[in-house]
């Protein structure tokens, strides 16, 4: 049993119960990751059916990311306090119900509201899936378990475009309705096979003020950024953006003064933990913007069907499934710095290759090389990054550390989805016009590649090779 944690004896990955716990964690995070990418493929069809402009499509993505990013810290802390399995199961049920509401939405405003609710479920579910592995597995097996979790979870994310293309043959609504039976399966496995664990030293009070300030602050900043791209009145942008920044500042002040804050400043006492989260921000901002725009671009500019656009990214799935667990094990043996440096740089080069996609693009010549290189870079990066950020925090803060890292990743995605299209000049109904969308996508690809190069360089300078090994020895 890990110090400061209430729960059973540590599990081994090769035990039956260990495999069941890993299955529950992978399925749970996989549903959330799948939803995050499958929706991107559906955006053009969804926009036409609901008569939405590009801002409406952005909010379909960002409504979900907003509540997920703002509340994911709360989800991690609640799991540490009230039981990681309990909160994980509640979040899964919530996510399934909200997905049903999304699938039944009659207009884009209702859909965005349901997506916000869906993000709340994701905020309860996501940190719990990773915290279960950190809290329940023996230190020697955590690297492999987290590597498998990263790889298989990323497979779910990469499968999103393919499944999206398939279900769009029926209706975009099935993109959301598909989550309902998946969530039911996750609950069944978790209730039957996952032991409960918690942090005996977790805070006894819930930091409601911090959660509210963080959510409203992110909402104000996001609204202002999206409105900026839609030629909104300057006063509206200034007021909402200024209010958002002020609320985020108030969040920082409140967290520093409360005895039991949602985000304890002490979690950042580890420079390594802070550094890896900065890398996370750069890499996941790029990843979110790229996955949003590339599947739309393939449908708008070369004119591919949703299914063809989804199938185009299948090599990423195959590479993640094949290499991620090995990548996590390699990082545990040799240290993560090289992989976290080379991986983002390879992804950046891949994005530059894919920026050349135009009308009449050939899959074999114009798409496949970039997709394969991107998949290799992603498989090289994700497991070492996740393993390192958890290894840099105490075991008893497994839920909080997972929540912080997920919050950083989702906030990065939230801001990137709001900022990158604006910076690239994509707005209005551009997603329906190849001549207007193509130059915007090319500019966005350059911005994404720059973020990935930044992530690789930061890893080279800040990440230490001894962090994972030291945690495993403990």
What does the alpha-carbon distance between residue 210 and residue 203 come to, in Å, rounded to a whole number?
A: 14
Lowest model confidence (mean pLDDT) among 22-36, 95-109, 158-172, 446-460 = 158-172
Identify the band that residue 204 occupies on the pLDDT scale cut at 50, 70 and 90: low
Q: State how far the Cα of 316 lies from the Cα of 213, in Å rounded to an integer.
A: 37
Reported as a single tens digit per residue, the pLDDT across 53-76 is: 888 888 898 888 888 888 877 887
Domain 11-197+262-473 sits in CATH at 1.20.1250.20
Spans of all domains in the chain: 11-197+262-473, 208-261
Question: Between β-strands 198-199 and 5-6, what pairing exists: parallel, antiparallel or unpaired?
Answer: antiparallel
pLDDT of residue 8: 62
Contact between 417 and 23 under an 8 Å Cβ cutoff? The reply is: no
Residue 397 pLDDT grade (very low, low, confident, very high; cuts 50, 70, 90): low
pLDDT tier at 398 (50, 70, 90 boundaries)?
Answer: low
Closest C-alpha to 413, from 91, 34, 69, 74: 69
pLDDT of residue 438: 92
Question: Among 105-109, 160-164, 186-190, 255-259, which is the least confidently predicted range?
Answer: 160-164
Percent of the chain with pLDDT over 70: 90
Helix-then-strand count for the chain, H and E: 17, 2
For the ranges 71-80, 235-244, 273-282, the maximum mean pLDDT occurs at 273-282
pLDDT of 22 > 90? The answer is no
Q: What is the pLDDT of residues 332-379, one digit of tens each?
A: 888 899 999 999 999 999 999 999 999 888 999 999 999 999 999 999
> Is 471 a residue whose pLDDT tops 60?
no
For residue 407, the model assigns a pLDDT of 80
The answer to whether residue 437 scores a pLDDT higher than 80 is yes
Distance of CA 360 to the CA centre of its chain: 32
- What local confidence, expressed as pLDDT, does residue 3 receive? 40
pLDDT band (50, 70, 90) for residue 45:
confident
Instruction: Give the separation between CA 178 and CA 173, rounded to whole angstroms.
Output: 9
Q: Which residue has the higher pLDDT, 3 or 185?
A: 185
pLDDT of residue 281: 95
In this prediction, residue 443 has a pLDDT band, given cuts at 50, 70 and 90, of: very high
Would you state the structure tokens that stand for residue 121, as one six-digit string? 């479920």
């Amino acid at each position: 049993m890990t110090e400061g944690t209430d729960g059973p004896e540590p599990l081994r990955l090769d035990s039956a119960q260990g495999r069941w716990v890993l299955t529950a964690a992978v399925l749970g995070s996989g549903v959330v990751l799948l939803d995050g990418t499958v929706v991107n493929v559906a955006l053009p069809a969804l926009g036409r059916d609901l008569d939405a402009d590009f801002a409406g499509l952005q909010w379909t993505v960002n409504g979900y990311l907003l509540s997920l990013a703002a509340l994911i810290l709360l989800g991690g802390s609640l799991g540490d306090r009230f039981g990681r399995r309990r909160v994980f199961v509640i979040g899964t049920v919530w996510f399934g119900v909200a997905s049903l509401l999304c699938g039944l939405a009659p207009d884009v405003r209702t859909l965005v509201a349901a997506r916000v609710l869906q993000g709340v479920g994701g905020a309860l579910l996501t940190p719990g899936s990773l915290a279960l592995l950190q809290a329940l597995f023996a230190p020697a097996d955590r690297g492999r378990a987290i590597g498998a979790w990263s790889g298989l979870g990323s497979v779910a994310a990469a499968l999103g475009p393919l499944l999206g293309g398939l279900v769009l043959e029926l209706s975009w609504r099935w993109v959301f309705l598909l989550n309902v039976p998946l969530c039911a399966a996750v609950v069944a496995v978790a209730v039957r096979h996952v032991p409960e664990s918690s942090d005996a030293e977790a805070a006894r009070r819930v930091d409601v003020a911090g959660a509210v300030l963080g959510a409203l602050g992110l909402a104000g900043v996001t609204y202002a950024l999206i409105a900026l791209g839609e030629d909104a009145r300057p006063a509206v942008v200034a007021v909402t953006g200024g209010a958002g920044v002020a609320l985020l500042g108030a969040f920082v002040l409140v967290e520093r003064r409360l005895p039991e804050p949602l985000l304890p400043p002490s979690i950042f006492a580890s420079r390594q933990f802070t550094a890896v989260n900065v890398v996370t921000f750069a890499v996941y901002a790029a990843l979110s913007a790229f996955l949003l725009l590339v599947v739309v671009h393939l449908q708008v500019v070369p004119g591919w069907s949703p299914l063809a656009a989804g199938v185009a990214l299948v090599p990423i799935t195959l590479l993640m499934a094949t290499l991620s667990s090995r990548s996590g094990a390699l990082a545990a043996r040799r240290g993560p710095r090289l992989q976290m440096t080379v991986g983002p740089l390879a992804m950046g080069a891949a994005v530059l290759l894919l920026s050349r996609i135009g009308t009449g693009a050939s899959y074999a010549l114009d798409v496949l090389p970039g997709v394969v290189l991107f998949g290799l870079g992603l498989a090289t990066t994700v497991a070492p990054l996740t393993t390192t950020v958890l290894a840099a925090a105490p075991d008893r803060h497994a839920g909080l550390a997972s929540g912080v890292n997920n919050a950083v990743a989702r906030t990065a995605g939230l801001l990137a989805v709001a900022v990158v299209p604006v910076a690239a000049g994509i707005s209005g109904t551009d997603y329906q016009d190849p001549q207007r969308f193509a130059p915007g996508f090319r500019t966005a690809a350059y911005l994404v590649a720059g973020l990935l190069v930044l992530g690789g360089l930061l890893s080279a300078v800040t990440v230490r090779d001894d962090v994972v090994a030291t945690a495993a020895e403990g």
